[in-house]
Amino acid sequence: MTVHGILVDIPTADGTADAYLTHPDDDRPHPGVLLYQDGFGVRPHLKAMADRIAEAGYTVLVPNVYYRSGRVPLIELPELIDVDQCDEIFATIGPLLVAATVPDVVLRDAEAYLAWFADSPLVTDGPIGVTGYCLGAYLSLRTAIGHPDRVAAAACFHGGRLVSDRPDSPHLEAGRITAELYFGHADQDPSMTSEQIAELDEALTAAGVRFRSEVYEGATHGFTQADTSRYDAVGDARHWTALLDLLKRALPA
């Protein structure tokens, strides 16, 4: 299926978020999918991932969640990001990442993205799907919690700190979720330990949430990102199968 990608601006309560939009090139509305970036931000690789989802029959929006600090590209990234050799990059994006995870900020921005979907002639009426990576996994879960009436499915891949000892930890609000969830955890990820995964699973089960939680053996944090040194082709292929299966169940294209 041929897809068409453009840049769009999304009005928010705090300004204007630039975003990448891609959809089947057939002049018809399709179910919406919100794709949340990882820590490195919106870049060609993430746009290619969005295009792949669009090819399956969806209208996909990839917002720049760092928009308060500027439009994409905020920082210059190498063609292949060596995660173990990019201290300068982390020094720049670290504060942006922290600011982007404040629960009230996530909620306000999600409201703006969902409003855009509701108003777009490219999107069918009804709930949407959400997927996210690293930072985006946290945002995906937060969006499902904050907008249970608008999110039918949410996927979270190599997410970090989905469980913490903070009073606003996402797992404590599992009872608000109505979406079907999927989690693809990396088994070599210190930001989401086996103990945290178990605690998240217990909270979701107790809340009656429909979910599937899988640990990808041999995978490290960031295993889906082909433009980084953490990429794992086997784990990435498995992630695509899980994500598209979830979307097909919850939001038939």
- From the candidates 30, 38, 109, 134, give the one annotated as an active-site residue: 134
- From the candidates 109, 189, 232, 236, give the one annotated as an active-site residue: 189
**DSSP 8-class letter at 6:** E
Nearest Cα neighbor of 30 from 9, 3, 63 is: 3
73: preceding bond cis by omega (within 30 degrees): yes
Nearest Cα neighbor of 163 from 191, 183, 139 is: 191
- The torsion angles phi and psi of 27, rounded to 5 degrees, stand at 60, 30
| Residue 86 a catalytic site member | no
Residues in the chain: 253
- From the candidates 30, 147, 185, 221, give the one annotated as an active-site residue: 221
| Residue 134 a catalytic site member | yes
Contacts for 160-168 with beta carbons within 8 Å, 24 or more apart?
160/134, 160/135, 160/189, 160/191, 160/192, 160/221, 161/191, 161/192, 161/196, 162/137, 162/138, 162/192, 162/196, 162/200, 163/192, 163/196, 163/197, 163/199, 163/200, 163/203, 168/103
| Residue 30 a catalytic site member | no
15: helix, coil or strand?
strand
End-to-end alpha-carbon separation of the chain, Å? 12
Two tokens at 239?
A: 């992630």
Return d(Cα 225, Cα 96) in angstroms, integer.
Answer: 19
Q: Which residues are catalytic?
A: 134, 189, 221
